[in-house]
Amino acid sequence: MQSMTPERWQQVEAVLDAALDLPAPERAAFVERACGSDAELRAEVERLLAACAAPDLVPEESAAVFAAGLVARTAEFPAVGSGRADAAAPAGARPERVGPYRVLAEAGQGGMGTVYLAERDDGQFRMRVALKLVRRGLHLDDQFVRRFVEERRILARLEHPNVARLLDGGLTGDGMPYYVMEFVDGEPIDRYSDGRRLSLEGRLELFCRVCRGVAYAHQNKVVHRDLKPSNILVTASGEPKLVDFGIAKLLHDATLYTGELPVPTLTRTGQRLLTPEYASPEQVRGEPVTEASDIYALGVLLYELLTGRRPHGRTGRTPYDVERAILEEEPTRPSTAITRPSAAATPRPPARGTHREPTPAEIAEVRGLSPERLCQRLRGDLDAIVLTALRKEPERRYRSADDFAADVRRYLGGQPVLARGDGAAYRLRKGARRHRVSITLATLAAALTGLGVVLFNRYRAPDAIVPGPTRRVAFDAALELDPVLSPDGKRVAYAADVGGAMRLYVKEIGSERAVLITGGVPGYHRAPRWSPDGRHLAFQSGGVIYVVSASGGAVRQEVRPEPSAEWVAYPAWSPDGRELAYVQDRVIYTRALAGGPHGRWPCRRGTRTRSRGPRTARGSRSSRGIQPSPTANPPWVAPSTSATSRPARSGSDRSAAGSRFASPTNDHST
Amino acid sequence: MSAQAGITELLLAYHGGEQEAYDRLFPLVYEHLRAVAHAQLRRERGGHTLSTTALVHEAYLKLADVARLDVRDRAHFLGVAARAMRQVLVSYARRHRAEKRGGGLEPVDLDAAELAVEERAEVLIALDDALTRLAAMSPRLAQVVECRFFGGLTEEETAQVLGVAERTVRRDWVKARGWLHAELAGTVAAD
């Protein structure tokens, strides 16, 4: 069908409006007069007039009613991964049966869904199981189902006393995935240890058994990826069992896929899908996850079991801060973590229901010691063991969970501990060792093959960028968001979550290889913006705007907004690439990359100027953002609330060559 | 922070026209409506299917702390909800179509009910596409359709959302439906 420009439409609409104001019999004549010699205009108006009078093709009943049958017959599709689904979901959603299992009771809420106590109900024998039902629907294309089945098959082969067995799994009639695990009647390892006031030896012994389970899985090429106390349950007989192997990753990927329009998956305060405190530096960087990441997590676990604190997390710190600490700060030695809470070490989040942080006295008490004695015991060998596992470089950690446990046993046996050696014993790799390919979805996803998603969905104006037919860029749509084409049309920048952290990547169109661009920057990265010369990307993370080279490498520049905020909106480039602008509290700030004071442009609702810059389809959110306006005054246009920026005080326009707006020395204060 | 408190805060912030507030508000409302749609609309045969209007208004009552919000905030919410509802329903339609085409299953002997459902999916998709084209030409007309049809809002509510007079909304509705008719007549017939 013909697509009209807005200007043309205005003409058509003007005549149409006037005609509709007239009684029906007079319209035809009016239109003829009004359109004069413009036959095309007349045809348009007449066509529309007829359509206005015709019976509706827009359904009579309300949309929801119209769609009811459709919804009933279509599998549920994914939700925004905000984790607040429980607040919004309708009540009483507990299913009675899932596949061949009968649901008995709700056992708990996991990150991804609800865990039920269920019973197999096929007449032959009754077995109690833990049934985990994904609360949100998943995109059920062939590829996903195949992956899900494959992953499940691999995990089902794991059989070990310290690993909760995956028994079964499938899709319900509604298309929701579920999986069934051996029901572990146990407590999270931290609560178990504190509740029974386990001594250090007791905790270390427990820990060794956890390591056995992890080592077994690693030997079978399965990485857990989400080791933390709530995923390690200890039974009454004192046997720890690992739960939620690999599944966390599988479901995490799937919930990011939303169908047509990208929808932000996290709210501003950031409900992380991966607990940042347990994430290894390479996970935070967005690099592939390996066994070494599990070793790191074991190190954090041991740290917590021994000291009651975590190496980096701190209540009140944002996930951004935690990630930064993981990347950049050295963890406090366990022996000093208890008595110096003001240092990098942090108090553990308090037990549910309380708000108080445990004091050093309390921490020591549940370990059967005095605070001084506890610090003394931790000093030396245990410090060294824990810190070895927490090394930032994966190759410098314990090579395997077995090695880790072996060193702990040496300590328990009074023997010299290898961690305190000169490190030669931990020359773990001869040269650069390639990470073994582990069967996690991270690996599968990193291949970035699969569902083809047209880069430009129909919500982009066709004159946006590339001439010629729309190119098809293959993405794994489960992971990737915010694709933006480079100015030269040869590369695309996008946000993706490969290892549990949202990072930015650049890919050549037509190639399968993607370059990780923002690995070293903590936080949650979205909405990359190409510089006009295509050599840099700007984005915001944790309230700071970063400029990075589009070919990867160190961060070129950081722009810290003033006043600083936790979140800053829409960095945008000036046309000459020399300035960045961002919005904060209805003020547009500009900052020259070469330095200098920033400009301030308070916004107010002004006249609706239609930007003649890059066009954005009104219904689209994917290309929102402030843009340089074509005129120098106002120099920036803010998005669809139709606010336009005006300088607080008009000054002379001292534009530098190529710059489209007043220089920053025209600073204005309110 | 409960979802309710979050949405209320965001609505209050949106009051000032913050684009950010909208961006953060939308996913919350979307999620709610998606879940509700799944739960409420699954009953094909029930004679008590809720209208969109009811769903949207109910969402407002559930999600927002109405005591703290005024008429304008409510209008903002309804506008967001209308858009969210559109997205939810159209997503179902596209999923349905994708499943039919990509499922690898041979459609054998579709019964009349199944065919009707397919047709509905196609109508919704065509409508959504057309609305997008309309929005490129005249954003307000598209929004009127979104509010009225997808959101089930009254003329008065739509006027509040868009900040125009009611008679403008009425006229817009006429023009928009006319335009859509002209567009859809060609599309639907071509299938």
Tokens standing for residue A349: 């989040």
Q: Name the strands in the sheet holding A627-628, side by side, starting at the edge strand that comes first in the sequence.
A: A569-573, A579-584, A587-592, A599-605, A643-645, A636-637, A627-628
Q: Catalytic site residues of A?
A: 226
When divided into structural domains, chain A yields a total of: 3
pLDDT of the residue at B20: 67
When divided into structural domains, chain B yields a total of: 1
Write out pLDDT tens, residues A359-382.
Answer: 888 899 999 999 999 999 999 899
Write out pLDDT tens, residues B81-103.
Answer: 888 888 888 877 777 776 665 44
**A313 within domain boundaries:** yes
Write out pLDDT tens, residues A105-161.
Answer: 777 655 455 678 888 766 666 678 888 776 544 444 455 556 666 667 777 788 899
Full domain range(s) for residue A42: 6-53
**A500 within domain boundaries:** no
Q: Chains A, B: CB contacts under 8 A, how many?
A: 242
A338 and A230 in a common domain = yes
Residue A159 belongs to a domain with what CATH number?
3.30.200.20
pLDDT of the residue at A221: 78
Stretch A17-35: mean pLDDT, rounded?
89
Q: The whole model's pTM is what? A: 0.48
Task: Per-residue pLDDT tens, chain B, 191 aa: give them.
Answer: 355 567 787 787 776 666 667 767 777 787 778 777 776 665 544 444 557 777 777 788 778 777 777 777 888 888 888 888 888 888 777 777 766 654 434 344 445 556 666 777 777 888 888 888 888 888 899 999 999 888 888 888 899 888 899 999 999 988 998 888 887 765 444 33
Nearest residue in A to B163, CA atom: A641
B137, B169, B191, best to mutate vs chain A, most A CBs in 10 Å: B137
Measure CB to CB from residue A624 to each of B19, B31, B188 and give the nearest one. Answer: B19
pLDDT-derived band at A305 (thresholds 50, 70, 90) equals very high
A58:B86 CB<8 A: no
**A492 within domain boundaries:** no
A4:B137 CB<8 A: yes
pLDDT of the residue at A234: 94
The span from the CA of A456 to the CA of A484, in Å, is: 9
End of a domain among A182, A202, A227?
Answer: A182
Full domain range(s) for residue B134: 3-190
The span from the CA of A517 to the CA of B68, in Å, is: 44
A406 and A360 in a common domain = yes
**Backbone conformation region of residue A197, classed left if phi is above 0, alpha if psi is from -120 to 50, else beta:** left
DSSP secondary structure, A446-468, as one string: HT--S-EEESS-TTS-TTSS--S
**A476 within domain boundaries:** no
A132 and A110 in a common domain = yes
In this structure, the number of other CB atoms found within 10 A of the CB of residue A194 comes to: 22
Question: Would you call the peptide bond into A563 cis, given omega within 30 degrees of 0 as the criterion?
Answer: yes
B50 CA: distance to closest CA in chain A (Å): 7
| Percent residues over pLDDT 70 in chain A | 56
B86:A63 CB<8 A: yes
A117 and A161 in a common domain = yes
A230 and A369 in a common domain = yes
Measure CB to CB from residue A74 to each of B26, B96, B136 and give the nearest one. Answer: B96
Stretch A650-663: mean pLDDT, rounded?
26
Residues of chain B found within 8 Å of residue A140, distances taken between Cβ atoms:
99
B27:A267 CB<8 A: yes
A249 and A345 in a common domain = yes
Residue A376 belongs to a domain with what CATH number?
1.10.510.10
pLDDT-derived band at A516 (thresholds 50, 70, 90) equals confident
A243 and A374 in a common domain = yes
A143 and A37 in a common domain = no
**A306 within domain boundaries:** yes
B3:A73 CB<8 A: no
pLDDT of the residue at B165: 92
Helix, coil or strand: residue A662 = coil
A199 and A167 in a common domain = no
Residues of chain B found within 8 Å of residue A56, distances taken between Cβ atoms:
177, 181
Residues of chain A found within 8 Å of residue B132, distances taken between Cβ atoms:
458-459, 617, 619
Tokens standing for residue A283: 């996970």
A396 and A310 in a common domain = yes
Write out pLDDT tens, residues A470-488.
Answer: 333 333 333 456 678 888 8
B89:A458 CB<8 A: no
